[in-house]
Amino acid sequence: MDDKKLLALFGLKWNPFQADLPVDSLWLPPAMESFFFRIENLVMDGGFALIAGEPGLGKSKCLQLITHRLRQLDNVVVGVMGRPQSSLSDFYREMGDIFGVNLSPANRYGGFKSLRERWLNHTQKTLFKPVLLIDEAQEMMSGCLNELRLLGSANFDSQCLLTTVLCGDTRLPERFRSEALVSLGSRIKLRLNLESYDRAVLLKYLEHGLTQAGALHLMTMGLMETLVGHAAGNLRVLNNMAAELLITGAQKELTQLDEKLFLEVFSRQPIMKKRKTTQRIPA
């Protein structure tokens, strides 16, 4: 079904279960406000921060919110790495592109020096450290992660030139226990570990999304509680189920989604009609 028709049918401003939501309408996880405040202070000093958790808990949305919040501050430069799995040469190419430095991968020392000079000059002018955000950081090569550590450290590790936020699944903090990356792990100043959400938090998340989309009436309270109960504490699972119900409800031209629709869509055992049997009389 066409998105415009679907939105018009239910009176939605946007589909609250899709990934491309307006940043102002995004839900804020319970621990995120405190983490935002600490990140804003980290930008003054520089260093590493870490966001980790199982898939589907909203890590990437946290980065999106951080980007939006930091870009509202004057003179804060925020760069986002788009290809964390790059080799060391491509890593330098992307870093040069992000921070506006003309780098030659064949001259890594020159690139190393130019990036540090750019960051140091920016800090002297604005008092803010440049910010680098890396999603799916568990895919980064150990050599690139260590290069980040060395790039952002000056004066015998007494001065940080860059603020780096690493975001990834549970493999990422595990990597910092390895011998190759333990030095970087010891330098992580802020950590946000996202865990499965309880029913009350998931219900607030669902209510927030529907309210922001302008259609709190879209689901009955019974359906909302049913969805929350079957989401296993995971936002992505909840959104996927709700999106499927929304499409099915539109096909059926329903005005409100309820528990009956949930059973029709997600029932594991289809209702079987009872067969009539005749009793055989023994001879």
CATH of domain 31-194: 3.40.50.300
Residue 50 has phi, psi (to 5 degrees) of -135, 130
- Written as one letter, the residue type at 129 is K
* pLDDT tens track for 139-181: 999 999 999 999 999 998 889 999 999 999 999 999 999 999 9
Q: Please tell me the distance from the alpha carbon of residue 92 to that of residue 103, in angstroms, as a whole number.
A: 7
Q: Which tokens go with 249?
A: 């409800």
In this prediction, residue 1 has a pLDDT band, given cuts at 50, 70 and 90, of low
Same fold, 3-19+197-266 and 31-194: no
Q: Please tell me the distance from the alpha carbon of residue 222 to that of residue 50, in angstroms, as a whole number.
A: 37
Whether the predicted pLDDT of 2 surpasses 90: no
What is the pLDDT of the chain when averaged over all its residues? Answer: 90
* pLDDT tens track for 10-47: 889 999 999 899 999 999 988 888 999 999 999 999 99
In this prediction, residue 282 has a pLDDT band, given cuts at 50, 70 and 90, of very low
To 10 degrees, what angle do helices 3-10 and 235-251 make?
90
Q: State residue 259's pLDDT score.
A: 94
Whether the predicted pLDDT of 276 surpasses 90: no
Whether the predicted pLDDT of 234 surpasses 60: yes
pTM of the complete model: 0.87
Domain boundaries, the chain: 3-19+197-266, 31-194
193 compared with 7, residue with greater pLDDT? 193
Rounded percentage of the chain residues whose pLDDT exceeds 70? 94
* In the block, residue with structure tokens 């002018």: 125
Whether the predicted pLDDT of 239 surpasses 50: yes
Query: What is the DSSP pairing of strand 163-168 with strand 153-154?
Result: unpaired
Q: State residue 262's pLDDT score.
A: 95
Chain-centroid distance, C-alpha 145: 20
Q: Please tell me the distance from the alpha carbon of residue 208 to that of residue 192, in angstroms, as a whole number.
A: 22
CATH of domain 3-19+197-266: 1.10.8
Whether the predicted pLDDT of 217 surpasses 50: yes
Whether the predicted pLDDT of 50 surpasses 50: yes
Q: State residue 268's pLDDT score.
A: 58
